[in-house]
Structure 1
Amino acid sequence: MNGANRNAVLIGHSGFLGTALKAAVEARPGTDAELASRDFVRQVLEGNGDQAVSSMLVPGVAQDWICAVGIVNPGADPALIEAINVEFPRRLHALLGALAAPDGVRLVTIGSVLESHGALASSNAYLASKSRMFETLSGAGGALRWHHIRLHTLYGGSKRPHPFMFAGQMFDALIRKERFKMSGGTQLREYHHVQDIAESVWSFLSVDGRDRVIELSSAEPIRLRELASAVFEHFNENDLLEIGSKIHSHGEVFESVYQRCPYLAASRDPIEGVICWFKELNVVRS
């Protein structure tokens, strides 16, 4: 079926990415989005997902089931991470494979470009869970079409950055006027505006892409020390920044550079983008 004539079922529509995906699909003419209820994940995990899934399947209408729900905090309860990040998509994949018409449904899962780096994933429960989920679904078999979209770091939108992320740690230091201790910051990372990534997801789906794994990369990484230096300088807080005062995490990835993805709808200057985001979140210059 033509990828432009599909409807979406969005699971996790209130999260960081889910909010942007919801706004993006609602802005596309002729495309409808059904939002899974807050109880949907629980129903599936408790073994009662047949009726919930069946109620959202529309005979004769092609659908993209986008699983944007997930636990991104590596410090969360390991059992919760396993249930939401691994077991839920596994069960959803099985239910859709059993209940949906052949080639009428695509399942889309979300991960990280860093999940395949074994040394780093071994010390990060979130990345490890995404790696397990990918391996689990890869071996599941069946006729259901499934696509896994790997992302770089997201910024933007109305939500504050997660406090365990690099951007969140910078944000908290600037808000609280506290010292920001970081490693040497030589890691290369890509930062993408969440709205651009939401549009990129729809860009991929609308052309009926067949790729199993999609890495939404710009091939324009920056080093974390460059980002931190520019952000703290903009807000006149250079004295708060302490580059090199912490050691790198175990298995840290430094030099990975990715090829630009043809489905990437847009890419913005990450330094300017993060600064604008912080200003929108009421970080002010001293």
Structure 2
Amino acid sequence: MNGANRNAVLIGHSGFLGTALRAVIEAQPGARVDLASGDLVRQVLEGNGHQVVSSLFAPGVAQDWICAVGIVNPGADPAVIEAINVEFPRRLYALLGNLARPGRVRLVTIGSVLESHSALASSNAYLASKSRMFEALSRAGDPLRWHHIRLHTLYGGSKRPHRFMFAGQMFEALVRKERFRMSGGAQLREYHHVHDIAASIWSFLSGDGQDQMIELSSGEPIRLRDLASAVFKYFNETDLLEVGSKIHSQGEVFESIYQRSPYLAANRDPIEGVVCWFKELNVGRS
């Protein structure tokens, strides 16, 4: 399945990662990407997905079905999180296994490196759902090849950060000129540009990698307080930053450091990257 003339079916092509994946794939000579409509998710969940799935098969061509659709807000309706993050990929896996010719299709799911931290996942519905999805597909047998790609925090692109994310909270405070209250910020986190991660995913798939689960890590984390301090300093808004004024989340992970993945195509400085992203989103300096 490596080399040119590859075909991908991208589910969730308008989302944060999906937009970057579409751009990366379309830029590759000989690669083709089919964009699955929102009806695919609905029909698969309703048990009527056979026809729409079959219509997306490319005869004689190996395909990667990339499931970039998902509910990332842990505060969303639990039933919706369960349906989109767990039931949809589980049912899609079964459908592809029943309908695709052997060896023609691979399923690619997306998760978080933090999903395996049970203490944190117990208080985060998004992480818990990704953990359940991984367990469900791991127990599903081997009707087709499946790869699960775990990511760190993403930034960059033309979309604003989610307001419930740390970067989104910084962004809103800077835009609104409001105080930014945070915990002590001792947590170590990796921040990766979304286009670098999209390129890394496609590079992994193009190389016909065999690992079922990979973590796209740089091994170069930054503490959240250092990221926030540098970002607010750049925009001349240090007076808005209140480090240590909030209690950290239950089960928070502080010291995890990951080994650099051989599949990571590129890694940018997170401070410079987040600052550039905010500038591109028209955050001005005071």
Q: What band does the TM-score fall into relative to the shorter chain?
A: over 0.9
Counterpart position of 1:248:
248
Q: What CA distance in whole angstroms lies between the structure 1 residues aligned with 2:219 and 2:174?
A: 29
Deviation of 1:143 after TM superposition, in Å, equals: 2.7
Work out whether residues 103 and 143 of structure 1, in 8 Å CA contact, stay in contact via their aligned partners in 2.
no
Aligned to 2:96: 96
- Whether 1:215 aligns to 2:211 is no
Per the TM alignment, residue 178 of structure 1 is displaced from its structure 2 partner at its CA by 0.4
**Distance across 1 between alignment mates of 2:5 and 2:262:** 21
- In structure 1, the residue matched to 2:43 is 43
Partner of 2:186: 186
Q: Distance in 2 between matches of 1:217 and 1:6?
A: 26
Contact 1:4–1:207 under 8 Å retained in 2: no
CA distance in 1, matches of 2:84, 2:143: 23
Residue 142 of structure 1: CA displacement?
Answer: 2.5
Q: Separation in 2 of the partners of 1:7 and 1:198?
A: 16
1:135-284 mapped onto 2 (5 Å cutoff): 135-284=135-284
Return the TM-score normalized by structure 1: 0.99
Give 1:68-87 correspondences, 5 Å limit.
68-87=68-87
Tell me what 2:105 maps to: 105
Aligned to 2:30: 30
Distance 2:19 2:2 in 1: 25
Instruction: Provide the rounded CA distance (Å) in 2 between the counterparts of 1:13 and 1:101.
Output: 25
How far does residue 189 in structure 1 lie from its aligned partner after superposition? 0.2
Write the distance in 1 (CA, Å) between the matches of 2:267 and 2:58: 35
Q: CA deviation at 1:2?
A: 2.9
> For structure 1, which runs of at least 5 residues remain unmatched after alignment?
none
Q: Is the partner of 2:114 in helix, strand or coil?
A: coil
Q: 8 Å contact 1:235–1:284 — kept in the other structure?
A: yes
SS in structure 2 of the partner of residue 39 of structure 1 = helix
Counterpart code for 1:178: E
Q: Partner amino acid for 1:21?
A: L
In the alignment, the residues of structure 2 paired with residue 141 and residue 194 of structure 1 have an alpha-carbon distance, to the nearest angstrom, of 31
Secondary structure, counterpart of 2:200 in structure 1: helix
Question: Per-residue displacement from partner, 1:121-149 (whole Å, max 9, x unpaired)?
Answer: 00000000000000000000033000000
Tell me the alpha carbon deviations over residues 79-106 of structure 1, each in whole angstroms, 9 at most, x when there is no partner. Answer: 0000000000000000000000111100
**1:3: how far off?**
5.2
Counterpart secondary structure, 2:250: coil
Whole-Å separation in 1 of the counterparts to 2:51 and 2:61: 18
Rounded Cα–Cα distance in structure 2 between residues aligned with 1:59 and 1:34: 13
Query: How far does residue 59 in structure 1 lie from its aligned partner after superposition?
Result: 2.1
SS in 1 for 2:10: strand
Shift of 1:4: 4.4
CA distance in 2, matches of 1:182, 1:102: 51
For 1:15 and 1:66, locate their aligned partners in 2 and report how far apart those are by CA, in whole Å.
Answer: 13
**Normalising to structure 2: TM-score of the pair?**
0.99
Aligned residue for 1:53, secondary structure, equals helix
| Cα distance in 1, alignment partners of residues 201 and 208 from structure 2 | 11
In structure 2, distance between residues paired with 1:66 and 1:17: 11
Tell me the equivalent position of 1:15: 15
Q: 2: CA distance between counterparts of 1:20 and 1:210? A: 23
Asked if the contact 1:4–1:208 (Cα under 8 Å) also holds between the matched residues in 2, the reply is no
Aligned to 1:2: 2
Partner of 1:125 in structure 2?
A: 125
Offset at residue 160 of structure 1 (A): 0.2
Contact residue 5 and residue 32 of structure 2 kept, 8 A = no
**One-letter amino acid of the counterpart of residue 79, structure 2:** A
The RMSD of aligned alpha carbons is 0.7
> Using the alignment, how far apart are the partners of 1:4 and 1:78 within structure 2?
41
Counterpart CA distance in 1 for 2:110 and 2:5 is: 22
User: Percent identity over the alignment?
Assistant: 83
Report the Cα distance in structure 2 between the residues aligned to 1:132 and 1:5, rounded to whole angstroms.
34
Per-residue CA shift, 1:9-54, capped at 9, x if unaligned?
0000000000000000000000000000121100110111000000
